[in-house]
Amino acid sequence: MTATALDPRHLAPVPGPPPGAPRMLTGDRPTGRLHLGHYAGSLANRIRLHRRYESFFIIADLHMLTTKNSPGEIAEAGQHATDMVLDSLAAGLDPAHSVFYLQSAVPEVAELSLLLSSLVTVPRLQRIPSLKEMGEHAGQREMPLALLGYPVLQAADILAVHAAVVPVGKDNAAHVEVAREMARRFNRRYGEVFTVPDLVPADVPVLPGTDGRAKMSKSLGNAIYLSDPPDVVAAKVRRMYTDPARTTAGVPGTVEGNPVFVYHGAFNDRPAEVAELKERYRAGKVGDAEVKEKLTAALNRFLDPIRERRAAFEADEGLVEELIVTGTARTRREVKRTLADVRATMGLTAALAGFRRAARSRSRTRALAG
């Protein structure tokens, strides 16, 4: 992870993917605003990739239901979805080259998920560690059926749009593997319909939280959001966890794994400044306050262009909503086509067609007789 690779200011306006480019699908459950951890872990990668692939971004509200399904949580999903799309555009996704869609508004995906579910076994799904963790995290003592089927639904998302690449983090790698297995099994058993998707590991080091815990996360309350104003960033950095052994500025400190320096490494666009701070920190020649002030300045330099773009997109009232509406309609057309292929290839359309023919000829006979 280097500052340059992560820096939105280095994104020159480049054209979108060439015509006929392979497809990419990725996305998230609508759980809230995006933070620096999302940026380092997935957004930066998406922004890079969406220049090369025809890109679909799913707002996975059906997946959200596997762990969050109270009326209150469902009611909030809409606002979360808008925030996430806005954050993604602000960070650098080009609205002209990004198809955002709402999963629950493409009901054909659920049907595809059902049709695919005979291609995988329960023990295969039970061996996926991320599902158990998600269940436990959500306070479930027993595995809900929907959660066990999480990877099957995800496979339906991926296969429905013929995605060739699926950039996801470690937690989701096993789900993409399930999608690959199901695609191969389907193609062998019924006929070639599906593209076997490639997993693109988005294996950037996970950004620690401001409290020093391993992961920045909304639920842990240790996140700096892309939409945080400068004074909020300053306050969060001031409270940040550093080397606890360092009681005064004169004590030599540890840089490795120290979140303040991890953030400097990821987001500060002045590498010479970072190197010099590290040196003085190790030697016990700089106070935490100075290291943090410089981090605040660096983060605000990084976030300023994102804030500016966010304000511009926000001022364009209804834009985000329109993108979701048109993206959903576009995706639904694609998915309907795939589902029709799937049903025909499996032989499910033949029966009804036969019934229809027979029913028509019977009514013709009756009309002649009458």
Q: Does 43 bind ligand TRP (CB under 6 A)?
A: no
**CA-closest candidate to residue 320, choices 65, 168, 49, 98:** 98
Among the residue ranges 150-158, 207-215, 219-227, 352-360, the one whose residues contact ligand TRP (CB under 6 A): 150-158
CB atoms within 10 A of CB 147: 20
Q: Does 58 bind ligand TRP (CB under 6 A)?
A: yes
Which residue number places its CB atom closest to ligand TRP? 60
How many amino acids of this chain bind ligand TRP (CB under 6 A)? 14
- Give least dist CB 335 to ligand TRP, A: 13
- Give least dist CB 137 to ligand TRP, A: 12
Which residue in 157, 228, 243, 334 binds ligand TRP (CB under 6 A)?
Answer: 157
Alpha helices in 169-252 (DSSP H): 170-189, 230-238
Q: Which residues pair with 303 in a beta bridge?
A: none
Residue with Cβ nearer ligand TRP (115 or 319)? 115
Which residue in 60, 120, 161, 234 binds ligand TRP (CB under 6 A)?
Answer: 60
Question: If DSSP codes are grouped into helix, strand and coil, which group holds residue 198?
Answer: strand
Q: Does 25 bind ligand TRP (CB under 6 A)?
A: yes
Which residue in 27, 32, 41, 135 binds ligand TRP (CB under 6 A)?
Answer: 27
DSSP strand pairing (54-59 vs 98-102): parallel
Q: Does 180 bind ligand TRP (CB under 6 A)?
A: no
Residues in region 251-280 near ligand TRP by CB under 6 A: none
- Give least dist CB 273 to ligand TRP, A: 35
- Give least dist CB 117 to ligand TRP, A: 16
Q: What is the DSSP letter of 208?
A: P
Residue with Cβ nearer ligand TRP (220 or 251)? 220
Among the residue ranges 20-28, 241-249, 291-299, 362-370, the one whose residues contact ligand TRP (CB under 6 A): 20-28
Residues in region 61-120 near ligand TRP by CB under 6 A: 63
Q: Does 172 bind ligand TRP (CB under 6 A)?
A: yes
In sign, the C-alpha dihedral spanning 4, 17, 333, 150 is: negative
List, edge to edge, every strand of the sheet that includes 23-28: 98-102, 54-59, 23-28, 165-168, 198-201
**At residue 29, what are phi and psi to the nearest 5 degrees?**
-75, 145
Question: If DSSP codes are grouped into helix, strand and coil, which group holds residue 216?
Answer: coil
- Give least dist CB 23 to ligand TRP, A: 11
For the range 307-316, what are the long-range contacts, defined as Cβ-Cβ under 8 Å and sequence gap of 24 or more?
Answer: 307/90, 307/227, 307/229, 309/89, 309/90, 309/91, 309/92, 310/86, 310/87, 310/89, 310/90, 310/226, 310/227, 313/86, 313/89, 313/90, 313/95, 314/86
Residue with Cβ nearer ligand TRP (156 or 240)? 156
Half-sphere exposure of 67 (CA within 13 A, CB side): 20
Q: Does 29 bind ligand TRP (CB under 6 A)?
A: yes
Which residue in 42, 45, 88, 154 binds ligand TRP (CB under 6 A)?
Answer: 154
- Give least dist CB 239 to ligand TRP, A: 29
Give me the residues that bind ligand TRP (CB under 6 A), please: 25-29, 58, 60, 63, 154, 157-158, 166, 168, 172
